[in-house]
Amino acid sequence: MFGVTADADKHRWSHEEFSALPYETAVADLHCVTKFSMLGAEWGGVGTRTILELAPPGPTATHVMVWAEYGFSANLRLSDFTAPDVLFATHRDGEPLTAEHGFPVRLVVPHLYAWKGPKWVRGVEYMSADRRGFWEERGYHNLGDPWREQRYSYQEEPGDGPEW
């Protein structure tokens, strides 16, 4: 955790330290922008709220950028990141994630499209303003709500994201 933290410090956990944090599960669907859905998967890992308690955001933080391998990133409103069923998944259906599915850690944000939950997470940046992540810079919707079918940036309403 870095950026606009409450104490202005960076917070890091080794794999062993992260794995020792409280384990939570959430049964949730995963929706891909291509209209593929995986229904009722059980995800296990560390809840984002646990991380927020250990490394709280500063008072001006409104968004996060989740950084991952290969230059991938996903921006989220802080309110989306802190939802009760959002977690840093290390397991799916009781089994450790495979490399293909994001080992060692992927973010799972059940109420948003899957690109908002990148695989191979490496860090989280607290931000005091929104910035577009990897897929959003390439034309995906800044918010990504599957129930509102927010797939592409041309569908954005005023206030849905930062100006181009």
Q: How many domains does the chain have?
A: 1
CATH number at residue 20: 3.90.420.10
Q: What is the pTM of this model?
A: 0.94
Sheet containing 2-3, strands listed edge to edge, beginning at the edge strand earlier in sequence: 2-3, 121-127, 63-68, 73-77
For residue 162, being part of any structural domain is answered with no
At residue 164, the pLDDT reads: 80
At residue 29, the pLDDT reads: 86
Out of 35-39, 141-145, 149-153, least confident range: 35-39
Q: Determine the average pLDDT of the residues in 149-161.
A: 95
Per-residue model confidence as pLDDT tens digits over 84-106: 999 999 999 999 999 999 999 99
**Residue 60 burial (CB < 10 Å; 0-12/13-18/19+)?**
exposed
Domain limits for position 100: 2-155
